[in-house]
Chains A and B, each alone.
Chain A
Amino acid sequence: ETGVTQTPRHLVMGMTNKKSLKCEQHLGHNAMYWYKQSAKKPLELMFVYNFKEQTENNSVPSRFSPECPNSSHLFLHLHTLQPEDSALYLCASSQERGGGDTGELFFGEGSRLTVL
């Protein structure tokens, strides 16, 4: 069983669809993250949740809506997306110790999203 599981691995959706990406971590971590990876661009941090509370929203458009019902699960709800939103969406988790000293992140395999 992998530490961080993302579903679905691939998703194709139209601009008017509503879909959700799911992430589950089995590592007992207290922080979870959504990153966006587009071709030839650095990984972009989208959201950070620590103990289920959102601590970072990196100016992400409202068509992306995160949800963190507990420390093990993280969702990214997608609505009215644009073709430029096509990317690999990566979920990660970590054990935060506070004081700004983040340790390693554990990533899922990603959800490849294509918006038509």
Chain B
Amino acid sequence: SQQGEEDPQALSIQEGENATMNCSYKTSINNLQWYRQNSGRGLVHLILIRSNEREKHSGRLRVTLDTSKKSSSLLITASRAADTASYFCATVVPNTGTASKLTFGTGTRLQVTL
């Protein structure tokens, strides 16, 4: 079963509004990451938050992490049409190997209209 699940699956807002996406996961994590993907392109890393952090900011992005609820949220403030994309959360679970792996959710499709 997948580790991360985003909610909502799709979100449509107008330019200038804020967009909030949520991610829930099942097991303990080392860190949680958010990625963005424009249609048919590769994923681009947005922000990483570690398990001992509660909130992180990067430009118009704000990420929160609640390890007790096993959930995270991504807030995009003052959205722009160029923010239209799919957004994925990915979790890194602790392991003893030499290389870890990220487990991705199914993503939230964000549409920002003028």
Q: Name A's B-contacting residues (CB within 8 A).
A: 4, 6, 31, 33, 35, 40-43, 45, 48-51, 53, 55-56, 88, 90, 92, 96, 98, 100-110, 112
Contacts and interface: CB of A to CB of B under 8 A. Distances in A.
Given A90-B42, A112-B40, A102 B106 contact: no
Which DSSP category, helix, strand, loop or mixed, fits chain B's interface? loop
Nearest to A94: B99
B98 A96 contact: yes
A104 B33 CA distance: 8
Nearest to B101: A45
B43 A100 contact: no
A98 B98 contact: yes
Nearest to A98: B98
Interface in B85-111: 88, 90, 92-107
B99 A56 contact: yes
B34 to A, nearest CB: 10
Which are the 4 A-B pairs with shortest beta-carbon distances? A50-B99, A107-B42, A102-B100, A104-B45
Nearest to B96: A100
B43 A102 contact: no
Interface of B: 2, 4, 30-31, 33, 35, 40-45, 48, 88, 90, 92-107
Contact of A96 (B41, B43, B94, B99): B99
A110 B40 contact: yes
Contacts of B48: 103-104
Contact of A101 (B35, B42, B45, B92): B92
Nearest to A106: B45
B93 to A, nearest CB: 7
A102 B42 contact: no
Given A42-B105, A43-B104, A55 B44 contact: no
A88 B44 CA distance: 15
Given A45-B101, A55-B98, 15 more contacts: A6-B42, A42-B2, A42-B103, A42-B107, A43-B104, A48-B101, A51-B98, A55-B97, A101-B31, A102-B30, A102-B101, A104-B33, A105-B33, A108-B42, A110-B40
B98 A45 contact: no
